[in-house]
Structure 1
Amino acid sequence: MAIGKSISEGDHEFDTIVAVAHPHPHEDIEKCWVVAPCGMCRELISDYGINTNVILSYNGELVKCNVMELLPEKYTSEVE
């Protein structure tokens, strides 16, 4: 997972991030495509920056949104 590697190398703030799927070797597909990040990735991205933008595919178009739009009511240990 690229974001985990990036964090382990010392990067702790992200402006914009995109998740990309690639075909398995047995699949007859020659290109990668943009996907929405999974729930664990959404949590990880938001842990390192609630202002991080995420690019994803929506109705055949690439769109950019804030990670918190993908993770409403995120758990936090902060008292309101």
Structure 2
Amino acid sequence: MIPEITQKNVRLFIPYKVAKICDELCRQDHLTASEAILKFYKSNLSRLLGQEDTKLWQLGWVALFDMYKEEAHEH
């Protein structure tokens, strides 16, 4: 039986995806891990990813990375 995804447990899906996004930020933008993590966690996408109702946690890390880059490009 697959457990129901709730606001309490949605955070289980996030660390792997954030790590992959930050790894790619390091590679593409030549950032340190600390710089990449800080940049990502300052983004609107980071806040939305932690909300179960947005369903962003269902997306793969590449799609999330593309969304992050689009958001960063707008600012």
Give the structure-2-normalised TM-score: 0.22
Give the structure-1-normalised TM-score: 0.21
Larger strand proportion, structure 1 or 2? Answer: 1
